[in-house]
Amino acid sequence: MKFLDLAKVYIRSGAGGGGCVSFRREKFIEFGGPDGGDGGKGGSVWVEAVEGLNTLIDFRYQQHFFAKNGQHGMGSQMTGADGDDVVLKVPVGTEILDEDEETVIADLTEAGQRVLLAKGGNGGWGNLRFKSSTNRAPSRANPGQEGVERTIWLRLKLIADAGLVGLPNAGKSTFLSAVSNARPKIADYPFTTLVPNLGVVGIDGKEFVMADIPGLIEGASEGRGLGDQFLGHVERCSVLLHLVDGTSSTITKDYRTIIGELEAYSEALAAKPRITALNKIDALDPKTLSSRKRSLEKAVGGPVFLMSGVSRQGVPEVLRALWAQISDDRRKEEDVEPWQP
């Protein structure tokens, strides 16, 4: 299945049916009077977050969603049938944006959340509605209301507890495959990862979801490499794990490059809790490892974990540090009243 996290769709709700002008004509009934029914309501357009989806690829092949119009009213006081609604089913974590791609209409973060995007038009009144003591035989009826037509954007931001960031070939995919059942592509060249990957990680009987995104390079905020288009998938994370390639001779510069790109993308993302780990320590001798650890700790201004995704050395300690931050964030969320469908 191909991955797609941004889609433009065109929606239109149904128009209401027109009211009916009709008069009762039956044998032996001298004063039949008006009996025109109302028009039916037009269908509405809804969006709903559902489980089991992790991409917006369906919206590449269908971009137009039009609800049905309501039927016109009929004689014998019969109301027209309502138009059928249209429901756009999207993955959990999808944002609904207005046509300007900036205004957020809704953010669907839980399965079952449902939002009205375009309300169907009301049906028009039939002439029976206009009967009064002074107008016993009205010959007028209302037309139905027009539907609403608009263009929206769907933007998916994966729901994950922890996010992996780092330069290409920092070992993010290797780490994810070592700690979860995810099987991202792994190879010895830059930009092996082209789309985000999710994996469920377990440590000490606890589980959390980790997201691996394509590596960043200097100038990613200006569109270099794969750009920063995938950083949105770690915006919802409780903590970021910044992996630094221990075999690089410029680890301090590598670290600052990623921090600079995070800050250029979003101050909120750059301010997220972050754990830094020096990766690939199995390929370093003790003297080089000690020297590079000191340099990185000086740049970070705090502790640095040592680990190897290949040999799994130091991996449990990193996972426990991630879980500590995630569990703390979850406790804070429990104080907020959950959304009710």
Is 280 flagged in the annotation as binding?
yes
Is 316 flagged in the annotation as binding?
no
Q: Taking each helix axis as running N to C, give the angle between helix 251-265 and helix 286-300, from 0 to 180 degrees, rounded to the nearest 10.
A: 30
Residue 111, classified by CB atoms within 10 Å of its CB into exposed (0-12), middle (13-18) or buried (19+), is middle
Is 171 flagged in the annotation as binding?
yes
Is 43 flagged in the annotation as binding?
no
Contact 210, 163 (CB under 8 A): yes
Taking residue 150's Cβ as centre, other Cβ atoms within 10 Å add up to: 15
Is 195 flagged in the annotation as binding?
yes
Is 170 flagged in the annotation as binding?
yes
To the nearest 10°, the Cα dihedral for 186, 52, 12, 107? -80
Is 214 flagged in the annotation as binding?
yes
Is 75 flagged in the annotation as binding?
no
Is 213 flagged in the annotation as binding?
yes
Task: Supply the DSSP string of 245-283, one letter for each residue.
Answer: ETT-S-HHHHHHHHHHHHHHH-HHHHTS-EEEEEE-GGG
Is 173 flagged in the annotation as binding?
yes
Is 94 flagged in the annotation as binding?
no
Is 215 flagged in the annotation as binding?
yes
Contact 127, 136 (CB under 8 A): no
Is 50 flagged in the annotation as binding?
no
CA torsion sign, 321 to 322 to 323 to 324?
positive
Is 132 flagged in the annotation as binding?
no
Is 147 flagged in the annotation as binding?
no
Is 308 flagged in the annotation as binding?
yes
- Binding-site positions for Mg(2+) read 173, 193
Binding site for GTP: what residues are annotated?
Answer: 166-173, 191-195, 212-215, 279-282, 308-310
Known binding site: residues?
166-173, 191-195, 212-215, 279-282, 308-310
